[in-house]
Amino acid sequence: MKWKIRQEEPSDEAAITDVVACAFAGKPYADDSDQHLVTGLRDAGALVLSLVAVTGKSVIGQVALSPAKVGEGRYLCLGPVAVLPEHQGCGIGSALIEHALGVAQVYGRDGVVLMGNPAYYSRFGFQKFADVTYAGDGAEYVQVLPFGPPPEGEVQFHPVFEP
């Protein structure tokens, strides 16, 4: 199967919502609001980057970057990352993440932060830092990829991520 990665276009918005909904359906860490995160970020003017993976004209994956903070540091949040279940395990999610991280490195921020599976995201250089805290649910899944000195302080994701 051939696929490519490109920036989202306005005509992709409904497909992105569907991809996120399908990718997170039935996952114990997901809830019904996940499918609306990208739309919420877009509507709030906080969608720094939205990349899609497409095959033909069909969107099969998506990744987003939005503003975040770690202490006083200016970071980007990676997520959601979603790939349709029938296309998972083919390297699409990894390619989306690597593209997004490449953009993030030239964006002039201190690094990237996310909430996700440490076993998966550690392969991209994300790690937990003892001096990084998060007051919300899922603190054990918060990981950071700094572009400079080790981060410290409280993580603040965009309000769209808050319940």
- Positive or negative, the CA dihedral 22, 23, 28, 29 is negative
Q: Position 26: which residue type?
A: G
The pLDDT confidence band at residue 1, using thresholds 50, 70 and 90, is confident
Summarised one tens digit per residue, pLDDT across range 125-140 is 999 999 999 998 889 9
User: From residue 70, how far is each of 4, 119, 140, 156 by CA, in Å?
Assistant: 32, 22, 15, 6
Q: Is 152 exposed, middle or buried (0-12, 13-18, 19+ CB in 10 A)?
A: middle
Instruction: Say how far apart CA 57 and CA 114 lie, in whole Å.
Output: 29
Residue ranges making up the domain that contains 97: 4-161
pLDDT of residue 140: 93
Percent of the chain with pLDDT over 70: 96
Task: Kindly state the DSSP code that residue 136 receives in the 8-state scheme.
Answer: S
Q: What are phi and psi of 101, to 5 degrees?
A: -65, -35
Mean pLDDT of 98-102: 96
Residue 7's pLDDT is: 96
- How many whole angstroms separate alpha carbon 150 and alpha carbon 163? 28
What pLDDT is stored for residue 28 in this prediction?
63
Domain count for the chain, please give it.
1
Comparing 78 with 108, which gets the higher pLDDT? 78
Q: How far apart are CA 35 and CA 128, in angstroms?
A: 26
The residue whose two tokens read 């593209």 is: 99
| Mean of per-residue pLDDT scores for the chain | 93
Q: What is the CATH number of the domain that holds 124?
A: 3.40.630.30
Query: Once rounded to an integer, what is the mean pLDDT over residues 24-52?
Result: 84
Whether residue 84 is predicted with pLDDT greater than 90 in this model: the reply is yes
